[in-house]
Amino acid sequence: MLVAVAISIPTGANAQTTPGSPSFHSAASSTDGLFLHLRFGGHGMAFDGVGDADGGGIGLRAGYGFSNRFTLYLGIDGAGMNGGNGFLGHESDDDYGMVYVELGGRFHFRSGRKLVPYADAALSVIGLGYEGSGAFDNIDIAYGGAGLSLGGGALYFLSPTVALDAGMVFTPGSLMEREVDGDWEDADIKLTGARIHFGLSFYPFR
């Protein structure tokens, strides 16, 4: 009996880590707990009454998965954009900076697999800034607004702690305020943003 027990112990342990078993997949693609995310991507922006713009940027996210299905996060994306002819004191296609600060939720599908698709929704605060030209030469100009970001993507787990993350986000919204040399005034510029991102997500406490 002792010999039979001794033989069965390593056999049972190996069975639990077999790639085809549910326990292996669950460990390899769990999205609960703390996560950190670094990403890079392309940004596009269409404005109402202002020229379109595009560019590239970097983003950071931190959040917590309350289960394998739902994660709450806080994120920031920054981009250097080119275009936007028509902004106050921005009379030619020139560079300016853009930032999104977002509070959102992510809903995962097919939990327990290495490839985990998700849907994403977030409330977004949007900022845009540049140094004016012409009559506004050397004057800092900034716009602020808000939008609703909707998107989706997928995680591919390389290990229980690291996953590739790629997706796309659309953000309809508007710029509602403008600051010119420290003075704020109303603005009303409708916009639609699109972002494609690729990066890494880390689950450090696995």
Residue ranges per domain, the chain?
Answer: 34-202
- Joined together, the tokens standing for residue 139 give 């004057």
Output the pLDDT for position 146: 98
User: Mean pLDDT for each 10-residue chunk of the chain (206 residues)?
Assistant: 36 41 54 96 93 95 95 97 86 86 95 90 96 87 97 95 96 96 92 97 92
Render the chain in DSSP notation, one character per residue: -HHHHHHHHHHHHHHHT-TTSHHHHHHHS---EEEEEEEEEEEEEEESSS--EEEEEEEEEEEEESSSSEEEEEEEEEEEEEE-TTBTTB-SSEEEEEEEEEEEEEEE-STTSSEEEEEEEEEEEEEEEEE--GGGTT-EEEEEEEEEEEEEEEEEEEETTEEEEEEEEEEEEEEEEEEETTEEEEEEEEEEEEEEEEEEEE----
Output the pLDDT for position 11: 37
Output the pLDDT for position 147: 98
CATH of 34-202, one of 1.10.260.40, 3.50.50.60, 2.40.160.20, 3.90.870.10: 2.40.160.20
Predicted TM-score of the model (pTM): 0.82
Output the pLDDT for position 56: 96
> Of 198, 196, 200, nearest to 158 (Cα)?
200
Output the pLDDT for position 28: 60
Output the pLDDT for position 24: 42
